[in-house]
Amino acid sequence: MNNSSYAVKPELFNDQKEQIKLTFIEEVKDITKEDTVVRLKTNVDDICIMCFEQETIRITSSHQAFDLDGSFSLEPLQPTEHVTLVSEQDYSEIRFNAITVKVNHKPFGISIYKQEKLRFVQKAVAFNDTQSYLFLDRDRDDFIYGLGEKTGFLNKNNEKTTMWNRDVFEPHTRTNKELYQSINVFTHMTKENKYGFFLDNASKVTFDFDSNVNEGVIITDSGKLDYYVFLGDTQKDILRQYTDLSGKPYLPPLWALGYHQSRHSYESVDVLLDVFNNFKSKKIPVDAIYLDILYMERYKVFSFNKETYKGIENVIKKLKDEGVKIVPIVDPGVKIEEGYDVYEEGLRNNRYCKYKDGTVFTGEVWPGDSVFYDFMNSDIRKAWGKNHKFYTDLGIEGIWNDMNEPSVFNGEGNTMSLDVLHDMDGKKIVHQELHNLYGLGMSMATYEGLKDLNGNRPFVLTRAGYSGIQKYATVWTGDNRSSWEHLEMTLPMCLNLGLSGISNCGPDIGGFMDDTTEELLIRWTQIGTFLPFFRNHSSIGIKRQEPWMFGERAEYITKEYIRLRYKIIRYIYSEAFKSHKTGLPIMRPLVLEYENDPIAHGIHDQFLVGETLLVAPILRPDEKYRKVYLPEGIWYDFFTNKRYEGGQFIIVKAELDEIPVFVKGGSIIPMSEWSMNTDQLQDFIKIHVYPSGASFTDSFIVDDGISLDAPHAEIKVQFEGDEVTIKTVGTYDHGLTLDIKVIGD
């Protein structure tokens, strides 16, 4: 097909089956270099190309509005100074050190090479009145990882999905194209090649890797076409480059990595205390208990019900003194009510989202008719953050942000009107173009507010987000169901979030909706033991899911796995610290560590914690055996210390109280006795050393677990022959007692 003006691609149809007319960029009419930017003038549009020191190419195009301003969510990068433009009759080459961007003049196309090897092909670009279309080279046998929080398998090739933050109450299945998060990043891998791709566009975006046989199509509903190509040599390099741009994951406080208990809702102080006392008397560890919307006075944020939560300030202090934090939910909707100081203060100071004519947008959520802070404005974000003094004065250190897609019960598409006009620090932009940023803006405001008020590391949990959310919040995967399908879905959803820069994530353990069962709760808790975020949460009107609600057997098994979490929590915290520095996720698919192993590419029912722990959970009812793939190297059964050669599948038995877990040879795991919470962690650590047959050095990180920019210590363990030496590097005086256990001795 010729890329002629108003050409029609036969596979592009709307709901009425009418062909969509597109104007394609056909030819480059002029090309110039302006400092570090190369500008192409085409028959339709200007296109800008630039390169950053991180081997990252940015290509920007918009037939509506064109600029190179910074992004709401991204970090500034240093442009490559060395830019050479060489133009021939049919093509031009833009050379940035080892990277060359080749631009075909007619028909228009872009190819990117690194050290003369082809890495990326943009086949075509087209527009209609509001949308942009980007056509990329793709084959059905390729692998595409990332795209954030999506249902289905780990490999997103041969799928079609949409980025549009939405409150999805129906059961999550592979047919769900929209969920709560919109993360427009993926890594495309073939047998010979790989690249990373990020599209910075917060409107509705469709990634279609299914309809056209030899290409992928990316469609933006509005806004500019602004994308980045990452040219790292490995998948890890690409992820580091992407998180250089979008930001490294925040380092949560240590207590945020403990076990958390939640329910919609603990309806009174008495119920809350009963839950706490059960954990205490049954000696089940817990670091946080959550308050869902019933704690509020008629669902008004920044309030407590004066009857059912009378004396809550004393309860918060009592639990905090015993090492347990209270985490309340805070939604964005502010109830319209005369005399409600939060509402009236926001109205006086012009903080709510408005239409173009200045009318304040109103929508129905839990409190009834409500208004919404405009989180696109930095001053309004600061004001929202300051509101949290209501909570921090009571000793609260963590906040749970929900309904922040934003969800609006009576709105078209159950969200805010698309023609609401946001004030982005002087720029007026309609909600349609910024929709997917709203949850990110709320979490930014909450994080910065807690940081300023408490002076320590905040903990923020969010349902909605966009690229960059990892800098401010932990993400949970929303309102799942108590089903085995959703248990299995936990793994690829969290793994792809990690491959999209969001390291701190997890599901509702046990499932949010529908009654769970003893077996399902046990198997989900076993998985949760090794996830970055470990919270049991359930809905109102269904069977409660605390560990003691399913009889003695379930209580005993879940208690043992929650205790195991605390035995290994220093390892998990160390991985969170490393993730904060590198951008690599805590929870990893095998393909991230073993990208040259073709078997690893297809595995979505196992995962790694860091490089060291391999977890292969039971994901089906009544199963007691499963097949486990051990990649190359030496592996040890975590529980029995049995040694295995890697590069093979094995069959392992896993009774109801067992989960297959393996440790890679050539590594260490710091272990301690369990404690009731992270405030009471033991100071004695036994470092388990797993030989590989060769000398190696491994390490873990410790700090005080709460301070911003805290000094830390790296405890290095060197294993050579039969000798083990320990060396501490860093300024933090950890005060720990260290012992060594060599596995196999």
Half-sphere exposure (Cβ direction) of 272: Cα atoms closer than 13 Å: 29
Is 405 a known active-site residue? yes
| Given 479, 593, 595, 605, the catalytic residue | 479
Helix (H, G, I), strand (E, B) or coil at 607: strand
Distance CA 10, CA 213 (A): 13
Half-sphere exposure (Cβ direction) of 565: Cα atoms closer than 13 Å: 30
**What residues have CB less than 8 Å from 676, skipping those under 6 apart?**
280, 283, 285, 286, 322, 323
Phi, psi of 328 (to 5 degrees): -90, 150
Is 479 a known active-site residue? yes
Q: Give the burial class of 556: count Cβ atoms within 10 A of its Cβ; 0-12 exposed, 13-18 middle, 19 or more buried.
A: middle
- Which two structure tokens, joined as six digits, stand for 156? 């997103």
**How big is the CA angle at 310 (ends 308 and 311), to the nearest 5 degrees?**
140
| Given 137, 331, 405, 423, the catalytic residue | 405
Distance CA 400, CA 398 (A): 7
Strands (E) across 366-477 are located at: 368-372, 398-401, 421-424, 427-430, 459-462, 465-466, 474-476
**What residues have CB less than 8 Å from 234, skipping those under 6 apart?**
194, 595
**How big is the CA angle at 619 (ends 615 and 622), to the nearest 5 degrees?**
125
Distance CA 324, CA 679 (A): 8
For residue 741, the 8-state DSSP code is E
Instruction: Give the C-alpha distances (Å, rounded to integers) separating 274 from 269, 315, 398, 541, 544.
Output: 9, 11, 21, 19, 13
**How big is the CA angle at 28 (ends 91 and 26), to the nearest 5 degrees?**
110
Pairing of strands 160-163, 421-424: unpaired
Q: 602 with 508: CB under 8 angstroms?
A: no
Distance CA 181, CA 443 (A): 13
Q: 671 with 638: CB under 8 angstroms?
A: no
Half-sphere exposure (Cβ direction) of 367: Cα atoms closer than 13 Å: 26
Residue 406: is the preceding peptide bond cis (ω within 30°)?
yes
> Would residue 596 be called left, alpha or beta, if left means φ above 0 and alpha means ψ between -120 and 50 degrees?
alpha
Residue 79: is the preceding peptide bond cis (ω within 30°)?
no
Strands (E) across 278-404 are located at: 288-291, 325-330, 333-335, 363-365, 368-372, 398-401
**How big is the CA angle at 408 (ends 404 and 412), to the nearest 5 degrees?**
125
| Given 200, 244, 402, 575, the catalytic residue | 402
For residue 333, the 8-state DSSP code is E
Q: Give the burial class of 738: count Cβ atoms within 10 A of its Cβ; 0-12 exposed, 13-18 middle, 19 or more buried.
A: middle
The catalytic site residues sit at: 402, 405, 479
